[in-house]
């Protein structure tokens, strides 16, 4: 058997990593503690191991690395030997450098891009940003970032936990330069206690998340908590402050369990979940904010299957012709923040001085992953245990969401992953998708018999869409001298519309408290977007006043009038009947 040569040892040497003696085996151990020598060494080594696979596949197809070799006690210890030979490979060096650079630049929101479908826990689905309309909260702005789409309420036994190896972020640009000025960064922590029952003469671990009333922590095997940081300036190099509970001073917040079912929450899920809304201290701010992270009922009204089946619906029919939509029986996981508007606004303002903020969400994961051949969940007495994977490398953005539907129906398929990895300041690379959009042309082709006609493309393209998506609308939410960049923009001074009076067509119907001036849960962004792309903002466009629709609407009665503004999640049990719009 041929031992494979070093995988671009010169590249590793250039990275100045400590290496074992040359030409001798070294071991990456997975013992009871799954200790990869040190976590620091692992994080730097793992990317080189990935490079090795690429290089070896090209330069040494007739050799192989030895496989994992179980030791005498495989459940206690396992070693992976790799022989290191100093034999630099020029092609390997080049490929490794290219691989590392590409991973940084182009890693990869309801399942809108190819890569994100593989990692749904970090798939950002919707972003809401609006002036709080809960009574007495008019001086606050609410931000809601939803992740992990298409949750069936009955999805046990594990349900829908978030990724503790990822970071979830909400960004605010308050000087209109397309770069974040404030970032609110969430990081999850798994909490596991091994609940056992006496079965015969053995104590045996139970297979369920809870063994009784889930409101009692003693009955719960697995839960999650999180920390929340506020970063001023660049999201990675700026000044970070860990936010604390304004009541207890603690820096860790708990996430409620998903709504497993009525038997697991005998006193009602609403009573249980309300205890997970926390007041938080904010640096350099005279008022507290509020935070909630947990499962909610999906509020996005969309005829999802029909839209992506070549708009297989009547776009000129009644707005509620096809019921509540394909997501009406789904849940989602929300990160909700309520912040004093005076503490998040900056220099961005309209020509008459009204403060504007821009916002978007991202999720980032580690660049590399190693599968643990003997995974376990860490408990208080096994703190060294590791889970199914060990992650390493820099955090790399894989999800991005500002304006709804941009990546789904505006960005071309070949660039969807690239868009998810990008930042607003670099959106010039996607400008053609906005100035010369394909969706209106597709709608014209599909519904020409019904009179659908795309607006004409002027010498500068669709400048109306540039305003809607990239700069804000003049007189509504456009700051002076903005850097064109895709994000939600909110004029924090325009009047608040109470929930009972909101129009779900928002600004198109004269209700400037909603989309595209920010976005509220009740706003029908699909109908609004269809009308805008077909020329609603273009004087004289053939279809300027045509009421395009996907045929579904959200029932206003589903939405609460208080933070966190999204309805309680659908219960996983009882589910003996099909749920439609949360009703049985």
Q: Looking at the structure, do residues 72 and 181 belong to the same domain, yes or no?
A: no
Q: Give the C-alpha separation, 70 to 403, whole Å.
A: 51
Q: Give the C-alpha separation, 349 to 252, whole Å.
A: 35
Residue 197: inside a domain: no
pLDDT truncated to tens, each residue of the chain (584 aa)? 333 333 333 333 333 333 333 333 333 333 333 343 344 444 444 445 444 443 333 333 333 333 333 333 333 333 332 322 333 333 333 333 333 333 333 332 455 567 888 889 999 999 999 999 999 999 999 999 999 999 999 999 999 999 999 999 999 999 999 999 999 999 999 999 999 999 999 999 999 999 999 999 999 999 999 999 999 999 999 999 999 999 999 999 999 999 999 999 999 999 999 999 999 999 999 999 999 999 999 999 998 889 888 888 899 999 988 888 899 999 999 999 999 999 999 999 998 999 999 999 999 999 998 998 888 765 545 555 667 888 899 999 999 999 999 999 999 999 999 999 999 999 999 999 999 999 999 999 999 988 999 999 999 999 999 999 999 999 999 999 999 999 999 999 999 999 999 999 999 999 999 999 999 999 999 999 999 999 999 999 999 999 999 999 999 999 999 999 999 999 999 975 444 444 44
Q: Looking at the structure, do residues 55 and 136 belong to the same domain, yes or no?
A: no
Residue 572: inside a domain: no
Residue 402: inside a domain: yes
Q: Looking at the structure, do residues 412 and 505 belong to the same domain, yes or no?
A: yes
Q: Looking at the structure, do residues 350 and 374 belong to the same domain, yes or no?
A: yes
Residue 397: inside a domain: yes
Residue 32: inside a domain: yes
Q: In the listed set 42, 70, 105, which residue is the last one of a domain according to the structure?
A: 105
Total of domains in the chain: 2
pTM: 0.82
Q: Looking at the structure, do residues 385 and 488 belong to the same domain, yes or no?
A: yes
Query: What pLDDT sits at residue 80?
Result: 34
Query: What pLDDT sits at residue 379?
Result: 54
Q: Looking at the structure, do residues 471 and 508 belong to the same domain, yes or no?
A: yes
Residue 137: inside a domain: yes
Q: Looking at the structure, do residues 244 and 96 belong to the same domain, yes or no?
A: no
Q: Looking at the structure, do residues 139 and 261 belong to the same domain, yes or no?
A: yes
Q: Looking at the structure, do residues 132 and 68 belong to the same domain, yes or no?
A: no
Place of tokens 């809401």: 128
Q: Looking at the structure, do residues 93 and 119 belong to the same domain, yes or no?
A: no
Instruction: For residue 102, give every residue at least 6 positions away whose Cβ sits within 8 Å of its Cβ, in sequence order, or none.
Output: none
Q: Give the C-alpha separation, 15 to 346, whole Å.
A: 41
Q: Give the C-alpha separation, 48 to 34, whole Å.
A: 19
In order of 299, 347, 362, 405, the CA distances from 423 in angstroms are 26, 21, 9, 17
Structure tokens at 491: 């004029």
Residue 301: inside a domain: yes
Query: What pLDDT sits at residue 523?
Result: 98
Q: Looking at the structure, do residues 331 and 296 belong to the same domain, yes or no?
A: yes
Query: What pLDDT sits at residue 9?
Result: 34
Asked if 240 and 229 count as a contact pair (C-beta separation under 8 A), the reply is: yes
State the alpha helices, DSSP H only, in 333-409.
406-409
Q: In the listed set 65, 85, 105, which residue is the last one of a domain according to the structure?
A: 105
* Domain carrying residue 66: 9-105
Residue 571: inside a domain: no
Q: Give the C-alpha separation, 246 to 227, whole Å.
A: 14
Query: What pLDDT sits at residue 378?
Result: 59
Quote the DSSP letter at residue 176. S
Query: Is residue 55 reached through a cis peptide bond, with omega within 30 degrees of 0 on the bond before it?
Result: no
Q: Looking at the structure, do residues 383 and 523 belong to the same domain, yes or no?
A: yes
Q: In the listed set 105, 134, 151, which residue is the last one of a domain according to the structure?
A: 105
Quick one: how far is CA 61 from the chain centroid?
39
């Amino acid at each position: 058997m041929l031992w494979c040569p070093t995988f671009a040892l010169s590249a590793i040497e250039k990275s100045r990593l400590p290496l074992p003696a040359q030409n001798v085996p070294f071991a990456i151990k997975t013992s009871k503690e799954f200790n990869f020598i040190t976590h620091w060494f692992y994080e730097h080594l793992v990317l080189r191991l990935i490079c090795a696979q690429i290089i070896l596949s090209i330069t040494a197809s007739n050799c192989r690395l030895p496989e994992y070799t179980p030791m005498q006690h495989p459940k206690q210890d396992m070693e992976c030997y790799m022989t290191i030979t100093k034999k630099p490979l020029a092609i390997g060096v080049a490929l490794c450098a290219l691989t590392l650079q590409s991973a940084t630049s182009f890693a990869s929101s309801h399942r809108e891009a190819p890569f994100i479908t593989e990692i749904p826990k970090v798939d950002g689905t919707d972003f809401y940003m609006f002036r709080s309309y809960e009574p007495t909260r008019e001086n606050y702005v609410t931000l809601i970032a939803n992740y992990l789409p298409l949750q069936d309420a009955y999805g046990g036994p594990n349900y829908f936990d978030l990724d503790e190896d990822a970071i979830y972020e909400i960004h605010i640009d308050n000087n209109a330069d397309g770069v974040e000025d404030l970032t609110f960064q969430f990081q999850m922590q798994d909490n596991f206690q091994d609940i056992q029952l006496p079965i015969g003469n053995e104590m045996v671990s139970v297979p369920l998340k809870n063994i009784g009333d889930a409101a009692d922590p003693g009955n719960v095997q697995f839960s999650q908590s999180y920390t929340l940081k506020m970063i001023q300036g660049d999201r990675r190099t700026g000044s970070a402050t860990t936010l604390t509970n304004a009541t207890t001073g603690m820096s860790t917040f708990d996430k409620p369990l998903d709504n497993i079912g009525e038997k697991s929450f005998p006193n009602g899920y609403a009573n249980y979940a309300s205890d997970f809304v926390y007041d938080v201290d904010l640096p350099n701010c005279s008022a507290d904010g509020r935070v909630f992270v947990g499962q909610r009922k999906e509020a996005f009204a969309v005829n999802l299957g029909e839209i992506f089946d070549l708009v297989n619906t009547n776009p000129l029919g009644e707005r509620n012709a096809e019921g509540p939509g394909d997501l009406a029986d789904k849940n989602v996981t929300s990160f909700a923040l309520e912040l004093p508007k005076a503490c998040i606004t900056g220099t961005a303002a309209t020509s008459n001085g009204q403060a504007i903020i821009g916002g978007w969400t991202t999720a980032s994961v580690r660049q590399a992953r190693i599968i643990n051949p003997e995974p376990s969940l860490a408990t208080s007495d096994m703190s060294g245990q590791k889970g199914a994977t060990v992650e390493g490398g820099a955090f790399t953005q894989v999800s991005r969401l500002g304006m709804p539907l941009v990546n789904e129906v505006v960005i071309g398929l070949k660039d969807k992953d690239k868009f998810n990895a990008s930042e607003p300041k670099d959106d010039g690379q996607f400008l053609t998708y906005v100035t010369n959009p394909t969706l209106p042309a597709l709608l014209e082709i599909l519904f020409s018999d019904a009179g659908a006609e795309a607006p004409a493309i002027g010498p500068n393209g669709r400048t109306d869409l540039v305003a809607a998506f990239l700069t804000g609308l003049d007189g509504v939410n456009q700051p002076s001298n903005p850097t064109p960049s895709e994000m939600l923009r909110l004029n924090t001074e325009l009047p608040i519309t109470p929930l009972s009076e909101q129009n779900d067509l928002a600004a198109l119907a004269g209700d400037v408290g909603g989309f595209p001036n920010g976005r509220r849960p009740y706003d029908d962004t699909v109908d609004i977007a269809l009308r805008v792309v077909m020329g609603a903002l273009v004087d004289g466009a053939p279809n300027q006043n045509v009421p395009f629709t996907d045929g579904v609407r959200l029932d206003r009665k589903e939405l609460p009038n208080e933070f966190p503004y999204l309805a309680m999640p659908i219960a996983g049990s009882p589910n003996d009947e099909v749920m439609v719009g949360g009703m049985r």
